[in-house]
Amino acid sequence: MANESTRVSDSARAAGQPEGGRELTGAEIVCACLQREGVDVVFGYPGGAILPTYDALCRSGGIHHVLTRHEQGASHMADGYARSSGRVGVAIATSGPGATNLVTGIATAMMDSSPLVCLTGQVSTTVLGSDAFQEADVLGITMPITKHNVMVTRVEDLAEILHEAFAIARSGRPGPVVVDLPKDVQLARTLYDPDRPLPVVPVKTSMTPLDAEIEAARNLIAEARRPVILAGNGINISGASEQLRRLAEDTGIPVSLTLLGKGAFPEDHPLSLGMMGMHGDAAANLAIQAADLIIALGMRFDDRVTGTLSTYAPKSKKIHVDLDRSEIGKNVAVDVGVVGDLKAVLTRLLVGIAATVDEGWTAQIREWKDHSKTLDVVHQPCDGRLWAARVIRDLCELTDGEAVTVTDVGQHQMFEAQYYTHRRPRTLITSGGLGTMGFGLPAALGAKLAQPHEEVWAIVGDGGFQMTLAELATAVQEQIAVKIAIINNGYLGMVRQWQELFYEERYYATPLANPDFCKIAEAYGVPSVRVSQRRDVAPAVAWCRSVNDGPCLVEFVVESHDVVYPMVPAGAALDEMIRRPARASTMAGVSR
């Protein structure tokens, strides 16, 4: 084969060793490249095989290293950093178990198109493949869950590969890139030229749609009477929320968002339909099933969004715009597929756009939205007990819907999505695709470090929090002022919900014997308060907002027997939702 297992551009290979520059070790080159990429903070955990790079980080200065308590925390923090800022997040781990501990975070980032560069130490090239101490096949393990991965086997290729890793992570549809660094490569020396041109990721597929494709989309929009826009994370990644708002307002077409799309369109806008999907707003799901045109923008028709595919949006033509050609037609056949960057495509589409939305359609949607409000738990009389939905709605009102919220996965996540009104992109950070419990706390720490001026709330369940709660120590050591809201219902709530609805209430392996979370917080040096009455929510939130020198924690002890409504059961059509029982008195019926 032509080369060692490295990937460098043809020009770099032809050039051989870089000309000019200083002689540096591989570890020093890593630091120089990170600085050249503008990296200000990295998240990691040291160990033998990555120690040369840690020593170089120590000596180089300029890059802040956040010591996590587990490598999974490092990859989630880098992910939270990336999602809140749009910049590339960097995680560092040693070989073997260090690298394998990153895996869940890498897969989480891959599913939600988040740009990461993960640097992993590796045993020296001289012992590769010999089952050396702390050796693991990191390339093989991470190949299916990365956008790209590479092992550097020659120090001469290191700078080019690292810069290419950043370019790949952030270009096109973003994603995680793993760079595996054998110890001897970190120690070897070569000339480093800090002024070498940065590598460019070649564009292999056309990202510039034809005029005819744009025109076809515009024509379908002009002909539609009952259209609906479905917007996803692609809008946030592309920075196209302004173009989306113009499209909605210029045409009068209502907008529904995916979970990861939240923030792409202001949810208090008159044309907002709310979230779609399994726990989406009923109005959104009903509209999708009745629509005559679906305009899908930067979303991927995930199964949690569509329900059963065979009955999905049966009356509609479909336009699908996405940067990733492989998403077009993957799950749902479309009439017009447009491959391109959302901002550029929408800017072109807006020229001469016109639509004639039926007045009856607008009225029908209003009626659906009004009906949903009558069923909504937050519009029912307060019975004194603490419902998770009310906690989230109160938090939203008390923070004016302006906080950055980072959730874990489960019922509290869906309550957040339903009851926290987001208006700006990148203000909800949540693991949508992989559904990773344990994501919330570390991702919130990364988000706060990326956007220190933002008020960042980690909203976590009692189950997921315990998966990564050791990162409380990281928050304290780094004095990261995140506000942690534990929605404690004493159960793995979402699993409990499925057991209640579909497994004849056999609550097996879901009740949690929890520790005293406030004492845990105290042990870590985190101030905390426990709330179990509705009237105590506002004072607790106000207190939390006054703590600005480090983390603080509120434990909300909420009703255990609660269900996220509406719910589209597995195998059902999107409009076959289980709705919240109509009367307040039945709330007691739910609470057995």
Catalytic residues: 71, 133-134, 183, 494
Tell me how far CA of residue 450 lies from CA of 66, 116, 225, in angstroms.
Answer: 12, 14, 43
Which one, 40 or 383, has the nearer CB to another protein? 40
- CB of residue 315 vs another protein: minimum separation in angstroms? 14
**Of 126, 331, 479, 591, which lies in the binding site for another protein, with binding defined by CB under 8 A?**
331
Strands of 408-545 (E only): list them: 428-429, 456-461, 483-488, 528-531
- The answer to the question of residue 14 lying near another protein (CB under 8 A) is no
CA dihedral 28, 30, 32, 35 (to 10 degrees): -140
**Phi-psi domain of 276 (left: phi exceeds 0; alpha: psi -120 through 50; beta: other):** beta
Which one, 12 or 557, has the nearer CB to another protein? 12
Which one, 261 or 464, has the nearer CB to another protein? 261
Q: Using CB under 8 A, which of the segments 32-40, 225-233, 420-428, 500-508 binds another protein?
A: 32-40
Give the integer Cα–Cα distance in Å for 85 and 443: 12
- CB of residue 144 vs another protein: minimum separation in angstroms? 5
Q: Which of residues 293-312 bind another protein (CB under 8 A)?
A: 309-310
- The answer to the question of residue 79 lying near another protein (CB under 8 A) is no
Q: What are phi and psi of 18, to 5 degrees?
A: -60, 145
Q: Does residue 297 contact residue 565 with C-beta atoms inside 8 Å?
A: no
Structure tokens at 329: 């037609």
- The answer to the question of residue 204 lying near another protein (CB under 8 A) is yes
Q: Using CB under 8 A, which of the segments 163-171, 263-271, 419-427, 521-529 binds another protein?
A: 163-171
User: Number of residues in contact with another protein, rule: CB under 8 A?
Assistant: 59
- CB of residue 404 vs another protein: minimum separation in angstroms? 18
Site string for another protein, 215-254 (x = CB under 8 A): ----------------------xxx---------------
- The answer to the question of residue 452 lying near another protein (CB under 8 A) is no
- CB of residue 423 vs another protein: minimum separation in angstroms? 20
- The answer to the question of residue 188 lying near another protein (CB under 8 A) is no
- The answer to the question of residue 326 lying near another protein (CB under 8 A) is yes
- The answer to the question of residue 405 lying near another protein (CB under 8 A) is no
- CB of residue 261 vs another protein: minimum separation in angstroms? 16
Give the integer Cα–Cα distance in Å for 37 and 166: 8
Strands of 365-482 (E only): list them: 404-407, 428-429, 456-461
3-class SS of residue 286: helix
Compute the Cα dihedral for 27, 33, 34, 36 and give only its sign: positive
- The answer to the question of residue 168 lying near another protein (CB under 8 A) is yes
**Of 15, 51, 67, 207, which lies in the binding site for another protein, with binding defined by CB under 8 A?**
207
- CB of residue 104 vs another protein: minimum separation in angstroms? 17
Which one, 294 or 323, has the nearer CB to another protein? 323
C-alpha R_g of the chain: 25
Compute the Cα dihedral for 470, 476, 477, 481 and give only its sign: positive
- The answer to the question of residue 202 lying near another protein (CB under 8 A) is yes
Give the integer Cα–Cα distance in Å for 344 and 280: 29
Please state the length of the chain. 592
CA atoms within 13 A on the CB side of 148: 21
- The answer to the question of residue 197 lying near another protein (CB under 8 A) is no
Structural element, H or E, at residue 337:
strand 336-339
**Of 333, 382, 542, 570, which lies in the binding site for another protein, with binding defined by CB under 8 A?**
333
Structural element, H or E, at residue 273:
strand 272-275
Structure tokens at 451: 């956007």
- CB of residue 197 vs another protein: minimum separation in angstroms? 11
Structure tokens at 463: 């189950």
Which one, 328 or 460, has the nearer CB to another protein? 328
Q: Using CB under 8 A, which of the segments 279-287, 326-334, 500-508, 513-521 binds another protein?
A: 326-334
DSSP state of 511: B
Give the integer Cα–Cα distance in Å for 36 and 380: 56
**Of 37, 135, 184, 462, which lies in the binding site for another protein, with binding defined by CB under 8 A?**
37
Q: Which of residues 128-147 bind another protein (CB under 8 A)?
A: 139-140, 143-144, 147
- The answer to the question of residue 176 lying near another protein (CB under 8 A) is no
Which one, 5 or 477, has the nearer CB to another protein? 5
- CB of residue 339 vs another protein: minimum separation in angstroms? 9
- CB of residue 107 vs another protein: minimum separation in angstroms? 12
Q: What are phi and psi of 406, to 5 degrees?
A: -125, 120
Structure tokens at 141: 């393990």
Q: Is residue 477 exposed (0-12), middle (13-18) or buried (19+ Cβ within 10 Å)?
A: middle
* Residue with tokens 């049966």, as numbered in its chain: 314
Q: Using CB under 8 A, which of the segments 200-208, 365-373, 384-392, 573-581 binds another protein?
A: 200-208
Q: Does residue 422 contact residue 401 with C-beta atoms inside 8 Å?
A: yes
Which one, 326 or 585, has the nearer CB to another protein? 326
- The answer to the question of residue 210 lying near another protein (CB under 8 A) is no
Residues in a beta bridge with 406? 429, 458
The one-letter amino acid at 354: A
Q: Which of residues 338-367 bind another protein (CB under 8 A)?
A: 340-341, 343-344
Preceding peptide of 566 cis, ω within 30°: yes
- The answer to the question of residue 1 lying near another protein (CB under 8 A) is yes
- The answer to the question of residue 118 lying near another protein (CB under 8 A) is no
- The answer to the question of residue 9 lying near another protein (CB under 8 A) is yes
Give the integer Cα–Cα distance in Å for 291 and 225: 8
- The answer to the question of residue 212 lying near another protein (CB under 8 A) is no
* Residue with tokens 């939905």, as numbered in its chain: 389
Give the integer Cα–Cα distance in Å for 73 and 480: 14
- The answer to the question of residue 571 lying near another protein (CB under 8 A) is no
Q: Does residue 120 contact residue 71 with C-beta atoms inside 8 Å?
A: no
**Of 170, 300, 422, 580, which lies in the binding site for another protein, with binding defined by CB under 8 A?**
170
Which residues contact another protein by CB under 8 A? 1-7, 9-10, 35, 37-40, 62, 86-88, 115, 139-140, 143-144, 147-148, 166, 168, 170-172, 174, 198, 200-205, 207-208, 237-239, 309-310, 323-326, 328-333, 340-341, 343-344
